[in-house]
Amino acid sequence: ENIAPGSIKNVSIQNVTATGANLTSSITGVEGGRVQDVIIDGFTLTAKGGGAVKDIDVPEVPAKYPDGDMFGELPALALFTRHVDGLTVRNLKVHSGQPDPRPGLIADDVTRLQITGFESTNIPEQQPLLLFRNVAGALLNGNLLTTPASVYLSVMGSKSSAIALHGNSLEAARKVFVIGEGAPAGSISVEPVRTPGER
């Protein structure tokens, strides 16, 4: 018997250290049953790594929801989010035991997204570090990139809008962002980090 999923909202998870993680962490709702208002704060994740590039189109599996392994290997190394209204990610530090070609974080069909203090020592060579699809209303601030990367953020999807990068230190990225398939040209605004005394 299939039981309709209940609601997940107003959740806060803080100060977690995970080592040797085989599965990608995920915060996912289902179509018609969205996750609401989640805070992730103070995560240090060392993934096993060594994964493969995956299509962002992860099948919906409502019959298995919310099993932790219902998706199998996901297209993100550290965090995959989908069907979420209100997600705050603070101080997420990502490491990988083996080089991994996947983006560190993927947000798909997410609104009211805030990312602060994100760092990763695993930098994919041919993928962006962050991948957004149909993200509406996002603020990225106080994030640090110290290892050279080809693309920091890639945005795709026609519902992408109001994505702001303010006060980040991303000089190590060849491209801070790219507008990908279907995303409106004006969906991203960037304000460079200022040094003390600069106006």
Is 106 among the domain residues? yes
Q: Which of the four pLDDT bands, split at 50, 70 and 90, describes residue 199?
A: very low
Sign of CA dihedral 128, 173, 141, 68: positive
Is 40 among the domain residues? yes
Rounded CA separation 43/199 (Å): 34
pLDDT tens sequence across 34-75: 999 999 999 999 988 888 888 778 867 655 555 556 566 689
Backbone angles phi, psi at 102, to 5 degrees: -85, 155
Is 3 among the domain residues? no
Is 1 among the domain residues? no
Burial tier of 116 (Cβ tally within 10 Å: 0-12, 13-18, 19+)? middle
Give the domain extent around 174.
Answer: 9-192
Give the chain's domain count: 1
Is 2 among the domain residues? no
When mean pLDDT is compared across 30-34, 44-48, 180-184, the lowest value belongs to 30-34
Task: Determine what percent of the chain is predicted with pLDDT higher than 90.
Answer: 66
Rounded CA separation 134/110 (Å): 7
Is 105 among the domain residues? yes
Is 34 among the domain residues? yes
